[in-house]
Each structure stands twice: as C-alpha cells, then as structure tokens.
C-alpha cells in the first residue's frame, strides 16, 4: 500500500488530533504517502483531500476537537454519494483509509468497503465509550473528567443552598459517562439508558437521604435515560414532592466534547492511531482497532456495530451503597 487517507467523522472527541498525528507520523515513518480528508464523508464526496506531512500534525497532540473537522454525512448514506466519494479517492490514488469515529462512521465504512473494496481500518473516537471491541474509546476519559469537574462545582452550591441537582451528561444510548462521573463525584443516584430507574425509585432514594438528614443531593442522568432527560425527570419529581425540596437542573452538553485531552486519552489515541495504520498495512480491513486488557486487538466492524457493550451494573449497586 503506497497511499492512504485519514479522516474523522461523527461527533468529535478529545484525543482525535493525537490519533490523526499517530496515523500521519506512522505513515511517514513507514514510507507511505498520507492524505487528510476534511469534514468526514462529506469531504470525501466533495474531494476535500490534501497531502499531509509530519509537519502538518505538529503541535496538535494537546488540542481538543479535530484539525480535520468532522460531520455526520447524509449524502454518504446514498449510493450516489458513496459513488462520488469513491471517484474522489480514485482521483487521488488512495488505496486505504483510516476512519476515526463511532458506530455511524464504521457503518458507512463497512458498506463502502463492500461496494468498492477500499480497505478501511477504524479507530474508536467517541466520548460515549459505547463501542464493542475496545475497553475505552478516545475522548471518554477526558469527557468523564470534564463532567466530574462540573459535578464537584455543583456540589458546592447544592450544599450551600440545600438543593437537589439533576445533572445531565452525554450518552444517547450509553451510561458510561454517567456512571464514572457519578461514582467519582459521589452522586446519590445515577440514571442510565441501560437500566430503568423508575421515578418512584428516584423519589424513594432521595427521601431516604432526607430522612438521614442529607440536605443536598446530586443525581447524574445520562441524556438517553428512559424516564426522559434531566429537565423532564426533574419536572416529574417536582410534581410529586412539590414544595418539599428545592430542585435545580444543569445540562453539561457539549462542554464534555471539548477541551485538551487527558494524558490517558492522548496515549490511547496514539496507540489506536498507529494500531489502525499498521493493521491496514498488514492487510486488515473492515475492522476497528481497540485495546482490550492492554492488548491491541482488531474487531470486525460488523461486531462493533451489532454487539452491545454492556455497562457494569455492579457499579450502579455501588453508587447506592456508597451514598448512604
């Protein structure tokens, strides 16, 4: 393989730049020409492709976001869009791809590979940590620490005013950020999409706290919780305990997607970027590079997309025990 391209797609995640850097510098080291594609599949369709060198990735290991920019492409979902993308890759003589992203990115890569045979290896970049085939995804550790910093701050004011706070963290389908930041932040309760916590149980847990003279409480809610988002949950609770407690809601939102990546994310991203590149060079295709038990592994896209990555329910039990 003489010429490859790298791109980032889907929601950005801190550490994507460290991953791009590892792909580019790895390619230069191995004597392979490397191109960057801007704005994910949209840029592939539009031919927004440029040659990269070791110098193009100087001074980015510490930066959040992605220098290649990212997008969720609707056009790539169509056969016509994918054909345009293929024609652009042909035009630039690109023989293989490293795709940094999440489930949507890998679904696109899998279909594209089947249709046009361009080998692709993925590196898992999403703050959600919801990908089967790796213990951790790029950006997750930083996002947890960002959420934790906010939880600590909110606890100060919650305690001063004897309030209950519902703090919403990201995770459309996944409670990983909620559980980790909730445990580290000493939350009274963590609500996640994978396990239903009925409103009655939320009230019960909070009431037990009041009975033990707790004056303030923190409930961390993953945005995809079945009972609704944090505002909706707080409204339901207010209706039932009206006047008894002072409730506030904070949604952390996209703050969790930005910021300088943690050391752990930079190292993970570097390993996965180089792992994806070297996998591609060794003939791997349609697989995602991941780290499981500290070992580099490759998992078929089909499995990363299809198989759920279960949360550790024992951690939720621990939240309850530790918050008495």
Rounded to a whole number of angstroms, the minimum distance from the CB of residue 175 to ligand F6P is 11
Nearer to ligand F6P, 153 or 254 (CB): 254
**Interface with ligand F6P includes 124 (CB under 6 A)?**
no
Q: Is 181 annotated as a binding residue?
A: no
Q: Which CA distances in Å does 229 have to 26, 194, 223, 225, 232?
A: 42, 14, 5, 6, 5
Confirm whether 128 is a catalytic residue.
yes
Judged by CB under 6 A, does residue 171 bind ligand F6P? yes
Instruction: Show contacts with ligand F6P in window 57-76 (CB under 6 A).
Output: none
Classify residue 49 by its DSSP letter: E
Catalytic member of 128, 130, 225, 265: 128
Q: How many CB atoms lie within 10 A of CB 239?
A: 9
On whether the CB atoms of residues 175 and 192 are closer than 8 A, the answer is yes
User: What is the distance between the alpha carbons of residues 47 and 138, in angstroms, rounded to a whole number?
Assistant: 27
Label residue 267 exposed, middle or buried (CB < 10 Å: 0-12, 13-18, 19+): middle
Q: Indicate which single residue of 126, 137, 181, 285 sits in contact with ligand F6P (rule: CB under 6 A).
A: 126
Query: Rounded to the nearest 5°, which phi and psi values hold at 89?
Result: -65, -40
Smaller CB separation from ligand F6P, 70 or 286: 70
User: What is the footprint of ligand F6P within residues 73-102 (CB under 6 A)?
Assistant: 102
23 is in an annotated binding site: yes
- Smallest separation (angstroms) from ligand F6P to the CB of 13: 7
Tell me the C-alpha distance between 114 and 119, whole Å: 9
With vertex at residue 306, the alpha carbon angle to CA 301 and CA 309, rounded to the nearest 5 degrees, is 100
Determine the angle formed by the axes of helices 79-91 and 103-116, rounding to 10 degrees.
Answer: 70
State which residue, 171 or 279, has the beta carbon closest to ligand F6P: 171
Member of 43, 105, 124, 128 binding ligand F6P (CB under 6 A): 128
| 11 vs 273, beta carbon nearer ligand F6P | 11
Tell me the binding residues for ATP: 11, 72-73, 102-105
Give the binding site for ligand F6P (CB under 6 A).
Answer: 11, 102, 126-128, 170-172, 223, 257
Catalytic annotation, residues = 128
Tell me the binding residues for ADP: 21-25, 155, 186-188, 212, 214-216
């Amino acid at each position: 393989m003489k010429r490859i391209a790298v791109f980032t797609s889907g929601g950005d995640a801190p550490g994507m730049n460290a991953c791009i850097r590892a792909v580019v510098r790895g390619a230069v080291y191995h004597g392979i020409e490397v191109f960057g594609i801007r704005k994910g599949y949209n840029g592939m369709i539009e031919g927004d492709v440029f040659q990269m060198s070791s110098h193009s990735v100087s001074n980015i290991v510490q930066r959040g976001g992605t220098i290649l920019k990212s997008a969720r492409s609707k056009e790539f979902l169509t056969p016509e869009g994918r054909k345009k993308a293929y024609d652009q890759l042909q035009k630039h003589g690109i023989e293989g791809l490293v795709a940094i992203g999440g489930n949507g990115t890998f679904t696109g890569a899998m279909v594209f590979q089947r249709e046009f045979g361009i080998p692709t290896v993925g590196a898992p970049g999403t703050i959600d940590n919801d990908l089967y085939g790796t213990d951790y995804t790029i950006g997750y550790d930083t996002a947890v620490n960002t959420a934790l910093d906010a939880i600590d701050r909110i606890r100060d004011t919650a305690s001063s005013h004897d309030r209950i706070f519902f703090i919403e963290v990201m995770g459309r389908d996944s409670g990983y950020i909620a559980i980790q930041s909730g445990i580290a932040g000493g939350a009274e309760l963590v609500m996640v999409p994978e396990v239903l916590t009925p409103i009655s149980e939320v009230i019960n847990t909070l009431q037990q706290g009041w009975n033990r003279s707790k004056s303030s409480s923190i409930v961390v809610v993953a945005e995809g919780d079945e009972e609704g988002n944090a505002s909706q949950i707080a409204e339901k609770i207010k209706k039932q305990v009206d006047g008894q407690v002072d409730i506030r809601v904070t949604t952390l939102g996209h703050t969790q997607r930005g910021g300088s990546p943690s050391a752990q994310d930079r190292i993970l991203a570097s390993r996965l970027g180089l792992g994806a590149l070297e996998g591609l060079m060794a003939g791997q295709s349609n697989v995602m590079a991941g780290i499981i038990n500290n070992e580099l592994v490759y998992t078929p896209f089909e499995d990363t997309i299809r198989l759920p990555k279960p949360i550790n329910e024992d951690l939720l039990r621990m939240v309850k025990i530790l918050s008495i």
